[in-house]
A and B are shown apart, each in its own frame.
Chain A
Amino acid sequence: MIEDKLLIWRFKCGDKAALARIYEKYKTDLLRIATGLLNEMSVAEDIVHDVFVTFAQSSDKLKLGGNLKGYLITCVANRARNSKRVYQRRQAVSLDETESIISDSSKPERWIIRSEELDTLNNALAKLSYPQREVVILHVQGGMKFRAIAESQNVSINTIQSRYRYGLDKLRSLLNGEVEK
């Protein structure tokens, strides 16, 4: 945490090395969260890319009271939610085309190198409702407290906890074999 405070201070002073360190430190966590939320690597990569670029542009006005990781995760979650809304509104992409987009993501120029474990988990997460998926990912992968998630989504903490319970139960039944390993 102290390291993050120092990094933010240096970043606000325009120190590129500090920004590079923030990027190195959190890029993997953010990519993991974004792919879990969207199950579409190209969109997830774009979102994390945009979050970092917007963060870099905010050096002069950033006023960060809480922790840096939580802030970046919330940025990713908000953008993922918006992207999901836009996607639902369009509803233009057919299932076959979606499949081809996912297949594309194995190309070497992709940011994320796909792995079997990542695909298995993300496919299972994709079968949860979006609110359940979001809570499970933000709480387990992002380490966010239920209260913080509830506040960021403007719903009660009980709702968040129920979504988490149902989400985890469903995941358990979907990934039964994996969990036993």
Chain B
Amino acid sequence: MRPAENMKKLIKNVPIKTNAERDKEVLDDVLNALEKSEKDYSAASRSRIWRIIMRNRITKLAAAVFVIAVCVGVYQLGGSRAAFARTTRVVRTTLADLREFASNLREHKPEKYIYESNLPPAEPAKPNPDIQYTIISARVQEFSLVGGHDDLLDFLETESIELDPAAGYPDVSYARLDPDKTEHFTDFARAGDDLKLRSGPRLILQEGHEGTVGSFGADDQDAVAIALAATVLDDDGLIELSFSFLRGQSGFEMPSLEIEADEAVLFRLVGTAENEDNSNDEDAPDSDSVIFVLIRIEVIPPG
């Protein structure tokens, strides 16, 4: 190796170790800073919304009508039922206006990301060098739909593979596959009539830590990035999987999924593939915008 490269290697690889206690202290400071900033931000947004309401004549009027309607409603509570119903209608209309206004407001905040989480926040990953972690290996195969749907639908029906929609994210559906079904699916895909293998990355991650499975789809905008965290639940190989999806500026987390060690998860992602010309096949209008991702999990015990 040339001396210059030796020098670069020496500079680059100089070992640096940190004190675990100080690490934790600094991390706590950093997390507290995030928490405080989140609180400040939500207080600031409330006052900003109020400022926006008061700056615009129409919104100011809507807010005023809303307040008056509520006051009238409260005043007439002791009066006739018809009067109360009329007031309720006014309040409802005003609320509808305000809802529309709120949805317009959202357009003024493009920097705020859409985030729907069905999971409690995960514990921070703190790798301990003294512990030998179980390693999770995920073999990932991405297939694009090249033929029509018919044969694939027949196959899924024959194998009793039902793809359930992922709650909160209609573009993703999934199914757990036992080893037999997994093998049949890969055989079907290998036949090449309907499905074409695009890539087959392999992910190695420590138990309890999150790793990115890959980015699937045509380009940066439409591509879906999938991240996976896995935890071994018992000695029999029951595994809990948490999947996160990110497309463009939005994403979601799937409720966690429990599978056996030799099982696989099959995902169907809609609207991700390249937009190839399929004008010759009118029966398969959506076939080129579907991707299947098969993830097979393998547990490698410590040592």
Whether A associates with B in a native complex is yes
A2 CB–B CB distance under 8 Å: yes
With the chains together, A133 CA to B117 CA distance in Å? 45
Taking the nearest CB of chain B, how far is it from the CB of A111, in angstroms? 4
Q: Are B31 and A19 in contact (CB under 8 A)?
A: yes
Give the residue of A13, A16, A57, A175 whose beta carbon is less than 8 angstroms from that of B10. A175
Residue B14 CB within 8 A of the other chain:
yes
CB within 8 Å of A: which residues of B? 3-4, 6-8, 10-12, 14-19, 21-23, 26-27, 29-31, 33-38, 41, 111, 113, 115, 117, 121-127, 210-212, 214-215, 225, 227, 244, 246, 249, 251
Interface of A: prevailing SS:
helix
Give the size category of A's interface with B. Answer: 35 or more
Asked if A110 is at the interface (CB within 8 A of a chain B CB), the reply is: yes
Offer 28 A-B interface pairs, CB within 8 angstroms, sorted by A: A2-B212, A9-B251, A16-B35, A17-B125, A23-B30, A24-B126, A35-B16, A36-B11, A52-B26, A52-B30, A53-B30, A53-B33, A56-B34, A59-B37, A60-B38, A60-B111, A111-B26, A113-B17, A115-B15, A117-B15, A118-B16, A121-B11, A140-B8, A141-B11, A168-B8, A171-B11, A175-B10, A179-B3
Known: A24-B124, A60-B41. 8 other contacts (CB 8 A): A2-B225, A13-B117, A16-B35, A16-B121, A16-B124, A20-B125, A172-B3, A180-B6
Interface check A65, CB cutoff 8 A: no
Which among A2, A112, A168 is the interface contact of B4 at CB below 8 angstroms? A168
In the assembled complex, how far is the CB of residue A18 from the closest CB belonging to chain B, in whole angstroms? 9
Could you tell me the distance between the alpha carbons of A96 and B227 in the complex, rounded to whole angstroms? 52
The answer to whether A178 and B31 have CB atoms under 8 Å apart is no
Q: How many A-B residue pairs have CB under 8 A?
A: 152
**How distant is the Cα of A23 from the Cα of B212 in the complex, in angstroms?**
17
The one of A54, A56, A118, A136 that contacts B31, using a Cβ cutoff of 8 Å: A56
Interface residue? A3 (CB, 8 A) = yes
- Beta-carbon contact of A12 and B113 below 8 Å: yes
A15 within 8 A of B: yes
Judge whether A14 is part of the interface by a CB distance below 8 angstroms: yes
CA distance A3 to B17 in the complex (A): 24
Which residue of chain B lies nearest to A142 when distances are taken between CB atoms in the complex? B12
Instruction: Report the 8 A-B pairs with minimum CB-CB distance, sorted nearest first.
Output: A20-B124, A56-B33, A111-B22, A56-B34, A13-B115, A3-B212, A113-B17, A57-B37
Cβ of A61 < 8 Å from any Cβ of B? Answer: yes
Interface residues in A32-50 (C-beta closer than 8 Å to B): 32, 35-36, 45, 49
